[in-house]
Each structure stands twice: as C-alpha cells, then as structure tokens.
Amino acid sequence: GEDVEQSLFLSVREGDSSVINCTYTDSSSTYLYWYKQEPGAGLQLLTYIFSNMDMKQDQRLTVLLNKKDKHLSLRIADTQTGDSAIYFCAEKDNQGGKLIFGQGTELSVKP
C-alpha cells in the first residue's frame, strides 16, 4: 500500500540550512506536498511540486524530487526560530485525491 516516511526529529542552529527528507512508495502520485504545523495549530501549506518536476524554489524554500528513488526533500535556507514546527510530507493519491501523510519531522531551531 501507499506509505510515506520521514525522520522524526531535526535540530539546527539559527542561520543554518535545514534539510528535511521524505520517501514515498506510490510512483503514480501526481503531486507531493510540504505542510507546516505549529503547536496547537492546523496545517499550513508551504509548497508543493508536480511529479514531472525535479526542483522548485520559493524564496527560502527549495524542494527537490528524485522520482526514480521516490525521495523528496525540503531545504530551508537561513533557518529562523520561527521555522520551528512539525513538517509533514504528503503524497496525493492519484485517484480521488486522498492525501497520504508522513509522520512528520519536528524541526527545532536553536539560537
């Protein structure tokens, strides 16, 4: 079945780059997403990438997609303390649009 996996924790220093990794199993996924969740809040869409792209950049965020290895990453440049949150990777089921989420990576940014 479909499965999305992420490492659970990442700790970086303020100003460094953060790289959050994700692997997925459904090769027919059309879109892959990154959502951010701050404590006690809902999911905020950060960015997404279409499956025929291999990179997308949006300000401090860079998404890399390796479709052959089914590997997705989110790079946050110049990480700030406000970036501390849980980051969820998700793939979209090609039929019906259901989102399959990873278990989330908790990013901790230390001053």
With beta carbons less than 8 A apart as the criterion, state whether 6 and 105 touch: yes
Determine if 36 is a binding residue for another protein (CB under 8 A): no
Helical ranges in 22-96 per DSSP H: none
With beta carbons less than 8 A apart as the criterion, state whether 8 and 86 touch: no
Determine if 45 is a binding residue for another protein (CB under 8 A): yes
Determine if 103 is a binding residue for another protein (CB under 8 A): yes
Determine if 35 is a binding residue for another protein (CB under 8 A): yes
Q: Looking at beta carbons only, is 76 or 90 nearer to another protein?
A: 90
Is 81 strand, coil or helix? Answer: helix
Determine if 39 is a binding residue for another protein (CB under 8 A): no
Is 28 strand, coil or helix? Answer: coil
Q: Looking at beta carbons only, is 20 or 33 nearer to another protein?
A: 33
CB of 42 to another protein, least distance (A): 4
